[in-house]
């Protein structure tokens, strides 16, 4: 049973990420994975109607962050230390973007998450990312951003 369920995660997003809370929505949540939707809004698009890399990075980061919080509870101290992303295909122009994130390793100090992004209803991957988060010892402040 997760420490934070979907409504709790939405509450967290509204408070900690007010700029994006209206655009992202947690669709599914299990112990090992999460699915998060990015409602593609005008401001995420480049001229021509494609979604830019930074918006995809944002979605992967939010999904991974929510997945970790669902496991460890509301702890805004977890910080990204490293991320890598391959952009594979152009997302479908008028579709929402979905991100499926999975925990690869839940360590004492580091959590590694894998994220796969695709356009709703399209099977081919749009992007894949790996993200590492540092969990500071209880009661300590994080040493990295």
3-state DSSP assignment of residue 40: coil
Task: Report the distance separating Cα 15 and Cα 17, nearest Å.
Answer: 6
Here's the x/- map for its own copies, 27-56, by CB under 8 A: it reads as ----------------xx-xxx-xxxxx--
Query: Distance between alpha carbon 57 and the CA centroid of its chain, in Å?
Result: 8
Using CB under 8 A as the binding rule, whether residue 138 contacts its own copies is answered as no
3-state DSSP assignment of residue 95: coil
DSSP-assigned letters across all residues of 57-78: HHHHHHHHHHHHHHHH-S-TT-
Using CB under 8 A as the binding rule, whether residue 81 contacts its own copies is answered as yes
Q: Which stretch binds its own copies (CB under 8 A): 25-33, 66-74, 92-100, 123-131?
A: 123-131
Residue 103 has, within 13 A of its CA and on its CB side, a CA count of: 20
The smaller minimum CB distance to its own copies, of residues 48 and 121, is found at 48
Using CB under 8 A as the binding rule, whether residue 78 contacts its own copies is answered as no
Q: Which two tokens stand for residue 70?
A: 């669902």
Binds its own copies (CB under 8 A): choice among 74, 88, 100, 120: 88
Binding site for its own copies (CB under 8 A): 15-17, 19, 43-44, 46-48, 50-54, 57-58, 61, 76, 79-91, 104-105, 107-110, 112, 114, 125-128, 130, 132, 134, 143-145
């Amino acid at each position: 049973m997760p420490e934070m369920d979907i409504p709790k995660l939405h509450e967290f997003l509204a408070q900690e990420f007010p700029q994006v809370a209206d655009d992202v929505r947690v669709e599914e949540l299990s112990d090992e994975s999460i699915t998060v939707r990015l409602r593609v809004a005008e401001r995420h698009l480049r001229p021509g109607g494609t979604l830019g890399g930074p918006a995809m990075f944002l979605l992967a980061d939010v999904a991974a962050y929510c997945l970790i919080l669902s496991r460890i509870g509301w702890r805004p101290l977890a910080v990204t230390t490293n991320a890598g992303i391959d952009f594979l295909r152009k997302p479908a122009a008028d579709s929402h973007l979905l991100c499926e994130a999975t925990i690869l390793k839940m360590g004492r100090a580091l959590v590694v998450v894998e994220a796969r992004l695709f356009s709703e209803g399209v099977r081919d991957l749009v992007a894949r990312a790996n993200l590492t988060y540092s969990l500071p010892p209880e009661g300590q402040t994080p040493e990295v951003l």
